[in-house]
Amino acid sequence: MTTPTDPVTDPATDDAGVAREAGSAAYVLALADDALVYAQRLGEWMTNAPQIEEDMALGNIALDLLGQARALYPHVGVLDGTGRGEDDYAMLRDERAFRNVHLVEQERGDFGQEMARLLWFSAWQCELHGRLAAGSDEVLAGVAGKSLKEVRYHLDHARQWVVRLGDGTAESHRRMQAALEWAAPYVDELFDDEPAAAAVAAGVLTAPPSSVRPSVERAVEEVVATATLTMPETPRWRSRGGRDGIHSRPMGSLLAEMQHIARSHPGATW
Amino acid sequence: MSGDTTTTGAGAPAASPDTPERSWPLWEVFVRGKRGLSHVHVGSLHAPDAEMALRNGRDLYTRRQEGVSIWVVRADDITASSPDEKDSFFDPAADKIYRHPTFYDVPEDVEYL
């Protein structure tokens, strides 16, 4: 291992009981939270997608993301020195301790909105995981390298649908364009450099998040153009705070649904 | 009651106001296994077009590494023999045992036969 782990065994805790993850742990935790929370949202499509085939497709993508989260959480436990496991992070943290971006926590909208969200998220993951795979943290590089194949498929899925809906009927075109406008304010957070500063300094991430923005935008623009849609103008309001644990209203009910079994029956197994 | 229910499937591009109940066409899926020599029919699915049918086939039928290649064919494009014609189609072969290569003496020292 070449990871420069900080000799922190007892991470400071602030008044809200939020552990302050040391070094690159904070960013790895953020990536795990992105994957977990989006997996939860995508799972809501089961029985709700336009066709059962699409239930399966979105369920598969959700499971891929859940797998990424499960691989990352124990590694965060090593990096932050607490030795916590996947359940500790996924089920026993409160809202303020989650570091995911607002994009993934937003409530399930129509199918076009989901494809707009998936397009941005998977295009971003494709670029980011490429950088992580070349990084200095062997565990993280391994997880990123494996997930890259999955993520490329997610991007392809979003692409197929955005093109079909955008270049489909007048109604599907209108709603797909509206979906792109809906997603636009949530994109900035993905490229925020500040939360990743320690990870970049440690060489875990070979380049700051903002450096992947041009290639992510190119990928999205290509899809949008093929779909006969137009890129939204830069939104005046943009989400922020997710990486600091400041979340939007839908996050509370998402966590309640996701965590209540584990919290109602502590330590239960089956 | 049904007059104002305009909410069709959110993402079904094939549905138009004229044909609200119209659903995606049926596709037959053929998968070639890792060591298999030919594609084998594994089932069917619905998809709006061939590209999506291929992807749905991947998600539905190769989740457990069952295959390395997928074909999809519109079910409408398959011309199948009819069950009604079963007798005239297949039974005449039943009593023609000379069509099976079972009347040859295989020399003992010939391998791989």
Q: Which residue's entry shows tokens 């691989």? A: A71
Q: Say what the ipTM of the complex is.
A: 0.73
Give the per-residue pLDDT at B15. Answer: 44
Whole-prediction pTM value? 0.82
pLDDT at res. B111:
78
Q: Quick check: is A237 in a domain? A: no
User: For the residues A51-56, what does the mean pLDDT come to?
Assistant: 92
Over residues A199-220, the mean pLDDT reads: 93
Residue A156 lies in a domain: yes
Spatial separation of the C-alpha atoms in residues A29 and A31, rounded to whole Å: 5
Chain B interface, best mutation among A44, A46, A52, A54, by max B CB count within 10 A: A54
Contact call for residues A82 and A16 (beta carbons, < 8 A): no
Q: How far is CA A244 from CA A19, A171, A260, in A?
A: 12, 38, 23
B76: contact with A, CB 8 A cutoff: no
Q: Is A264 exposed, middle or buried (0-12, 13-18, 19+ CB in 10 A)?
A: exposed
pLDDT (tens digit, 9 = 90+) per residue, B42-94?
Answer: 999 999 999 999 999 999 998 887 888 999 999 999 998 888 888 888 888 87
Burial class of residue B75, CB neighbours in 10 A (0-12, 13-18, 19+): middle
| Segment A93-133, tens digit of pLDDT | 999 999 999 999 999 999 999 999 999 999 999 999 998 99
Among A97, A96, A102, which Cα is nearest to A73's? A97
Residue A18 has pLDDT above 60, yes or no: no
Contact A111 B59 (CB under 8 A): no
Average pLDDT of span A222-250: 97
Could you say which of A51, A115, A160 has the minimum Cβ distance to residue B55?
A160
Residue A1 domain-assigned?
no
Least confident of A59-63, A175-179, B94-98: B94-98
Taking CA atoms, what residue in B is nearest to A59? B59
Q: Which CATH code fits B26-78?
A: 3.10.20.520
Where does the pLDDT of residue A22 fall: very low under 50, low under 70, confident under 90, or very high at 90 and above?
low
Q: What is the pLDDT of residue B10?
A: 43
Please state the domain count of chain A. Answer: 1
- In a domain? residue A7: no
Please indicate whether, in this complex, the C-beta atoms of A111 and B47 are within 8 angstroms of each other: no
What does the alpha-carbon distance between residue A160 and residue B16 come to, in Å, rounded to a whole number? 20
pLDDT of residue A194: 93
**A166 inside 8 A of chain B by CB:** no
Nearest C-alpha of chain A: how many angstroms from B38? 25
Which pair of tokens denotes residue A73? 């959480």
Flag whether residue B47 sits within 8 Å of chain A, measured between CB atoms. Answer: yes
pLDDT at residue A88, as a whole number: 95
On the 0-12 / 13-18 / 19+ scale of CB atoms within 10 A, A78 is middle
Indicate whether A5 belongs to any domain.
no
* Nearest-Cα residue of chain A relative to residue B62: A60
Rounded Cα–Cα distance for residues B54 and A141 (Å):
31
In a domain? residue A174 = yes
Question: Residue A67, Cβ neighbours under 10 Å: how many?
Answer: 16
Which pLDDT value is given to residue A5? Answer: 43
Whether A122 maps to a domain, the answer reads yes
Decide if pLDDT at A265 tops 60: yes
Q: Work out the angle at residue A9's Cα, subtended by the Cα atoms of residues A7 and A10, and round it to the nearest 5 degrees.
A: 130
Residue B16 has φ and ψ, to the nearest 5°, of -125, 165
The residues, any chain, with a CB within 8 Å of residue A189's CB and separated by 6 or more, are: A101, A102, A103, A238, A239, A240, A242, A243
pLDDT at B113: 65
Query: Which pLDDT score is estimated for A129?
Result: 94
- For residue B3, the model assigns a pLDDT of 40
- Domain region containing A212: 16-232+244-264
Domain holding A128: CATH number?
Answer: 1.20.1260.10
Instruction: Give per-residue burial for A224-261: e unless 16+ CB within 10 Å, then b.
Output: beebebeebeeeeeebeebbebebeeebeebbeebbee
Name, in order, each residue with C-beta under 8 angstroms of B110's C-beta and a sequence gap of 6 or more: none
Q: What is the mean pLDDT of chain A?
A: 91
Residue A179, strand partner residues: none
In this predicted structure, the answer to whether residue A67 has a pLDDT above a threshold of 90 is: yes
